[in-house]
Amino acid sequence: MTSSAQDPFYVLRHSRSVHRKKAMLLGAKTLPPTQACRLFRLALTDPNDEIRLIGVSQLKRVEHELNTKLYTAKSRFTHASAAQRAAIALTIAQLYFDFLYLHIADPALRSHYLSEANRYCAFALEGNLPEAALLAARIALMADEPKTANQFLSRIGQNTLPLFHVMPYLAETAFAQGEYALIKPSLHLASARSRSLNRVQRFWQ
Amino acid sequence: MTKPLVGLLLEGTYPFVQGGVSSWVHQLIRGLDKQYNFALTFIGSTPSDHPKQHYKLPENVLSLDCFYLFAPEADCRTDFGTQHAYHKKLSDPAHWGKPRRHRLRPHRTQRPSASGTRWFIDLIHRLQNPKTPMNQRLLQGFLANNGPIQHPFYPTDMHRYRFSQEHALSSTILWKLLTRDYERFCPTEPFNHFCWHYRGLYQQLFRIAHIAQRARPADMYHSISTGYAGFIGAILSAAGDRPLIITEHGIYTRERRIDLNDAPWLTSPRRTSCVFDRQHESVIRTLWIRFFEQLSHTAYHQASHITSLYAASRRLQINEGAAPEKTHVICNGIAHERFARQNHLVRATSTPRVALIGRVVSIKDVATFIKAISIVRLSHPTVQAEIVGPLDEQPEYVEQCHMLVDLLNLSNHVTFTGSQEVETLMPTLDVLALTSISEAQPLVLLEAMASGVPIVATDVGACREMIEGPDANAPAPCGLIVPIASAQASAQAISHLLANPALREQMGQCGRQRVQTHYAESSMLSAYHALYANARDSASHRARDTTTDTTRPEAEQWRIPFVHWGFPSTFFGIKPR
């Protein structure tokens, strides 16, 4: 278990050393994007303006990377054949979703990103891609529509995607709908393959 | 009567870069044309970074010398042309864009003298301790360390301090320091990476020496930043016993710290997933930060007057090591009558118009403005936004902004117009937005205020002071302040102003009054005239250097115990392993 002195979030919230915070934030570039972006967002609230500027510049970097990928994928989409379109649409929908998932999108622009993600996901669903149904479910969950998410998850066939990919989202839809009895079996299947879910599973046992 | 010659030291700005600082320099030179002549020394990175001269040099500019710190070395010596010849050349538009460019090249010299070696050791010592600025003797050594050169400030006895770049970079002293620090602080880092950073840092010092040797003598020096320009000013001031004035728009050391935080060339080639396992990067970064801190401290120490644009900036200068009694605040000013004359222009349409005026570069955070417009569009579907400013400084950032406009489907709402005549543009605007993440005292805000245009600006530099007034008793604000990088807050402020014509009118009036009262061009120019006159007359300048005791024997002054070669254990802010 990480000691508080080694926990980047703890350091950013409580350390008095600007030098240590800076070193940590600069090192955070190598962390997985979800964690790194949370740290950078937290840095925006720091009283020191150098720390805030590092947070801003790092978030801009992530945003730029996503924008570039999105722009490239969209230009490929317009010139793609019908057969390729579903796969490219899935990439575009995933990128729009990432803007929301990483909290890069401004709150006022969330609905724009959500509707674009839905639009391209609908293209991808026409190609019968199982990943598209999973993404559609995640988008529906983000839009606070667990019933729709459940419908998409149930469309994923038995042998199309590994169960441990689908189960955590089934558990999440069950929780959102208040069907707590369904959470435990879903998590049981999921946690067998994912250690990060072990603690959640123990809570629901 | 001959006008005094002011040596203006310009780092990465006028006349090759458009923007606030360059406009300010142009304004200063033109405004003082009756009282002073100017010799410009431009210090840039490479000629390709500054290909175009954007300003016609006024008549009172007698010379323009360009130096490039990172240009490839070539055999191109310089000579000191007569000022008259340069004046003729520069007043001819055919010669614009053809300033005299100097190439920097190390010269082979004789073996280093014992005094020269001691000079280098003292230099190393000062770089490790940036809080102790370099003294006059040490600065004079910069004019001597690449062999004798015909310079009016060249002290007659300085030939004894010869020490060249070649000697320094291949010296046993530097090698011992380098290997010891490598083993102590970065043993897991590739040696090459550390070694080239270390050598590069010392190489810069010798390049600075070359520039100082070739800089044109003047009656006084005025550097528009600390850093390289300020340090060269300090060398020339110390060697020629001339006054040095420093004006900082942004605080140089602070800006370098921010740049170095994100510098890709500092990133280690070694990959690691642990955020705390990157101390070696911070060691190299700290080396560079301390280098810039020493340059600034020395410039502050040598300067007779240090000016800034607003009170908070002055406080930062004092925190960075400037003596409080030397610091002054001289606000930017504009000729507000120019803008008042255009106020009769009538709006052609009722479409809401918002503009961001400035260079399209990342520090202006144009992306946030574009996102803000996409939110404003929801409440004002006909809104038209213009991004007015040069597009050639960061082409990759311009491309990013175009991409964002496409992704947010804003092609019908956002236009990149390039540079435009601000006086005629201002009266056609409903709101001026400034989303910068760093600013000093932006001229564009003063121009908007003089034109009666309400402002939405981020809480950076002097923006709050300009918009809300310098004191608590100031009348109503002339705009709204928003946090940095918040498209939503910027959009809310813009929408609020667009929806309230009466508020816009009231803020516009308030802006006009404030600019007339606090930010008049005549006040700024007379303050600098007084400062120049004071610096020339100041007798205290000659007795400034208190760290050099001239009564001590020369050999004793240079005696630096070799035990001080290495860094103290707390150097770099980390404990040795």
Q: Which residues of B495-531 are buried (b: 16+ CB within 10 A; e: fewer)?
A: bebbeeeeebebbbebbbebbeebbbbeebbebbeeb
pTM: predicted TM-score of the whole model, two decimal places: 0.79
Both tokens of B438, joined, read 């760093």
The rounded distance, in Å, linking the Cα atoms of B300 and B322 is 5
Strand partners, B328: B307
> Is A106 within 8 Å of chain B by CB?
yes
Q: Which of B509, B520, B339 is nearest to B423 (CA)?
A: B339
Residues 65-104 of A with CB under 8 A from B: 67-68, 70-71, 74
Whether B182 contacts B195, CB under 8 Å? yes
Output the CA angle B541-B546-B551, nearest 5 degrees. 110
CB contact under 8 A, A31 and B273: yes
Whether B402 contacts B416, CB under 8 Å? yes
**Looking at the partner chain, which of A24, A70, A112 has a beta carbon nearest the beta carbon of B275?**
A24
pLDDT tens for each residue of A40-79: 988 988 888 888 888 888 888 888 889 999 999 999 998 8
Angle between helices A130-142 and A82-101 (to 10 degrees): 30
> Is A18 within 8 Å of chain B by CB?
no
Residue type, B472: A
CB contact under 8 A, B261 and A26: yes
3-state secondary structure (DSSP) of residue B202: helix
Predicted confidence at residue B243, as pLDDT, reads: 93
Residues of A in contact with B407 (CB under 8 A): 67, 70-71, 74
CB contact under 8 A, A57 and B438: no
What kind and span of H or E run contains B387? strand B384-388
In chain A, the residue whose alpha carbon lies closest to the alpha carbon of B258 is: A50
User: Is the dihedral angle over the CA atoms B488, B490, B493, B497 positive or is it negative?
Assistant: negative
Distance (Å) from the alpha carbon of A60 to chain B's nearest alpha carbon? 9
**Looking at the partner chain, which of B273, B275, B408 has a beta carbon nearest the beta carbon of A8?**
B275
Q: Which of B404, B396, B543 is nearest to A105 (CA)?
A: B404
CB contact under 8 A, A30 and B487: no
Going through B177-335 in order, the beta strands assigned E by DSSP cover: 220-223, 244-248, 305-308, 327-329
Exposed/middle/buried for B199, CB within 10 Å: 0-12, 13-18, 19+?
A: middle
Exposed/middle/buried for A180, CB within 10 Å: 0-12, 13-18, 19+?
A: exposed
Which residues make Cβ contacts (< 8 Å) with residue A187, sequence separation at least 6? A167, A168, A171, A197, A200, A201, A204
In chain B, the residue whose alpha carbon lies closest to the alpha carbon of A25 is: B275
Whether A8 contacts A28, CB under 8 Å? yes
3-state secondary structure (DSSP) of residue B61: strand
pLDDT tens for each residue of B12-54: 999 988 888 999 999 999 999 999 999 999 998 888 888 888 8
Output the CA angle B278-B69-B441, nearest 5 degrees. 80
Distance (Å) from the alpha carbon of B305 to chain A's nearest alpha carbon? 27
What kind and span of H or E run contains B487? helix B487-498
Strand partners, B433: B356, B456
Residues of B in contact with A28 (CB under 8 A): 275
Measuring CA to CA, how many Å separate A23 from each of A47, A60, B283, B288, B575?
17, 19, 10, 15, 15
Q: Which of B466, B518, B516, B521 is nearest to B340 (CA)?
A: B516
Give every strand in the sheet of B479-482, ordered side by side.
Answer: B414-418, B384-388, B353-357, B431-434, B455-458, B479-482
Q: Which of A197, A109, A58, A53 is nearest to B407 (CA)?
A: A109
Exposed/middle/buried for B470, CB within 10 Å: 0-12, 13-18, 19+?
A: middle
CB contact under 8 A, B282 and A26: yes
Which residues make Cβ contacts (< 8 Å) with residue A169, sequence separation at least 6? A134, A137, A138, A141, A149, A153
Measuring CA to CA, how many Å separate B353 from each of A86, B356, B358, B377?
40, 10, 16, 12
Q: Which residues of B25-47 are buried (b: 16+ CB within 10 A; e: fewer)?
A: bbbbbebbeeebbbbbbbbbeee
Distance (Å) from the alpha carbon of A183 to chain B's nearest alpha carbon? 33
Residues 119-138 of A with CB under 8 A from B: none
Predicted confidence at residue B163, as pLDDT, reads: 67
The rounded distance, in Å, linking the Cα atoms of B229 and B222 is 9
Distance (Å) from the alpha carbon of B487 to chain A's nearest alpha carbon? 7
Question: What is residue B520's DSSP assignment?
Answer: B
Distance (Å) from the alpha carbon of B267 to chain A's nearest alpha carbon? 10
The rounded distance, in Å, linking the Cα atoms of B371 and A63 is 12
Measuring CA to CA, how many Å separate A51 from each of A12, A32, A47, A199, B338?
9, 20, 8, 33, 40
What does pLDDT average to in each consecutive run of 10 residues of chain A (205 residues)? 69 85 82 86 85 87 90 91 90 94 86 92 88 92 91 78 81 88 77 70 73
Distance (Å) from the alpha carbon of A155 to chain B's nearest alpha carbon? 31
**Looking at the partner chain, which of A27, A58, A59 has a beta carbon nearest the beta carbon of B278?**
A27
Going through B197-264 in order, the beta strands assigned E by DSSP cover: 220-223, 244-248
The rounded distance, in Å, linking the Cα atoms of A142 and B321 is 51
CB contact under 8 A, A50 and B273: no
Going through B471-535 in order, the beta strands assigned E by DSSP cover: 479-482
The rounded distance, in Å, linking the Cα atoms of A55 and A44 is 6
Q: How far from the centroid of its chain's Cα atoms is residue A20's Cα?
A: 28
Which residues make Cβ contacts (< 8 Å) with residue B491, sequence separation at least 6? A108, B371, B372, B373, B375, B376
Pair type for strands B220-223 and B100-102: unpaired
CB contact under 8 A, A108 and B257: no
Q: Tally C-beta pairs within 8 A across A and B.
A: 88
What kind and span of H or E run contains A184? helix A183-191
Measuring CA to CA, how many Å separate B187 from each of A146, A149, B279, B281?
53, 52, 11, 12
Compute the residue count for chain A: 205
Task: Tell me the pLDDT of chain B (577 aa) as tens digits.
Answer: 688 999 999 999 999 888 889 999 999 999 999 999 999 999 988 888 888 888 989 989 998 888 888 876 533 333 333 333 444 444 444 444 445 555 555 445 556 677 777 888 888 888 878 888 998 888 888 877 554 444 555 555 555 556 677 777 777 877 888 888 788 777 777 788 788 888 888 888 888 888 888 888 899 999 999 999 999 999 999 888 899 999 999 889 888 887 787 676 666 555 444 444 445 556 778 888 889 999 999 999 999 999 999 998 999 999 989 999 999 999 999 988 888 766 555 455 578 999 999 999 988 999 999 999 999 999 999 999 999 999 988 898 999 999 999 989 999 999 999 989 888 899 999 999 999 988 889 999 999 999 999 999 999 889 999 999 877 666 789 999 998 888 999 999 999 999 999 999 999 999 999 999 889 999 999 999 999 999 888 745 454 443 444 433 333 333 333 222 223 333 333 333 3
Answer whether the bond into residue A107 is a cis peptide, omega within 30°. Answer: no
CB contact under 8 A, A23 and B276: yes
